[in-house]
Amino acid sequence: MSNFSLTMNRLGFKIKEYSPEILAVVGGTSVIVGVVLACKATEKVIPVKEEQKKTAEKIKNSEMTYVLSSGEELNDTNKALTVSYIRYGIKVACVYAPAIAFVGAGLTCMFASNRILSKRNASLAVAFASITEAFDGYRDRTKAVVGEETERKIHYGIESEEIEVGEGKDKKTVIVEKNPTAEKLKKIDPYSRIFEETTPGWQDDPGRNLDYLFMKRSELQHVLESKGVIRFNEALQSMGYPIVEEGDDIGWVYDDENVGAPGNYVALGFPGEERANAFLEGFETNVLLTFNCYPIKGRKAKYNKIGFGC
């Protein structure tokens, strides 16, 4: 008995897990069956319609007396026509009833499937926000202990080395960082990208690269304020990066009630002044960009700043 109960519980769990798909298939099938039945019902309605036409003509020409089911005769032509048309409508409704039932049941299943998926998406959005908030809090506590720069290197797996540049009195030591590869970065932070030689818009001129990044930041902010919403894939395409599967469900939502407040404007920053100088002076040819994306479906975003870097 316990094995049977366990099997039934597992089966029930599977059915509940795939209930949106099951409802969608059942709903689609029911609608198709309903349409087929409606087509067949139309053939059955034709003789009923012809019979009603003949009955109506006889009543109008006073060739027949309409008798109710109670046995009462209707001598009034208008009343007799009204009753005959009501009966005709009932007959037609009975013929189409199975088709209507199947289509109605199918649409109900489809709406139920959509409702379940909407609830699940909302739950995922809440879970995502909670995990993100918890992880951000963890990173903040780590920064407070080891320092922001050290935490950044640990988080992204950045390697650094010291090199000496210049000669004589101008000789100095510069710390050069080696950012992770694009493939490795995807596993570390799916919303970070490397702006490097292979990125569209990159030039062999640090100053122009900086201008380009600021221009893109302003462009995205303008689009955000104009459209109200920017999806992650739109930002990626604008920057010349490939789109990702989840890119249409995350992004930024503009909140015009908090203009000028943190999280409601485009921010571009490098990870520390030392890294910015190394990039601008040409010691490092690439820079790490981080997009602060959040779920955008079914939510008026609290976090809607487009940010690159820290």
User: Quick one: three-class SS letters along the chain?
Assistant: CHHHHHHHHHHHHHHHHCHHHHHHHHHHHHHHHHHHHHHHHHHHHHHHHHHHHHHHHHHHCCCCCEECCCCCEECCHHHHHHHHHHHHHHHHHHHHHHHHHHHHHHHHHHHHHHHHHHHHHHHHHHHHHHHHHHHHHHHHHHHHHHCHHHHHHHHHCCEEEEEEECCHHHCEEEEEEECCCHHHHHHHCCCEEEECCCCCCCCCCHHHHHHHHHHHHHHHHHHHHHHCEEEHHHHHHHHCCCCCHHHHCEEEECCHHHCCCCCCCCEECCCCHHHHHHHHCCCCCCEEEECCCEECCCCCCCCCCCEECC
Identify the pLDDT of residue 185.
Answer: 81
Quote the pLDDT of residue 68: 59
Classify the C-alpha dihedral 46-52-55-57 as positive or negative: negative
Residues with Cβ within 8 Å of residue 95, at least 6 apart in sequence: 41, 44, 45, 48
pLDDT at 258: 64
- What is the per-residue pLDDT for 154? 85
pLDDT reported for residue 201: 86
Do the Cβ atoms of 172 and 164 come closer than 8 Å? yes
Q: Which amino acid is at 206?
A: P
pLDDT lower than 70: segments of the chain = 1-2, 59, 62-77, 165, 168, 258-276, 297-310
The pLDDT score that the predictor gives to residue 198 is 87
pTM to 2 decimal places: 0.58
C-alpha 83/C-alpha 68 separation (Å) is 9
Which residue(s) pair with 289 in the sheet? 193
32-48: per-residue pLDDT in tens?
Answer: 999 999 999 888 888 88
The predicted structure's pLDDT at residue 28: 92
Contact (Cβ atoms closer than 8 angstroms) between residue 290 and residue 310: yes
- Name the β-bridge partners of 66: 74
Q: Quick one: pLDDT at residue 220?
A: 86
pLDDT of residue 102: 92
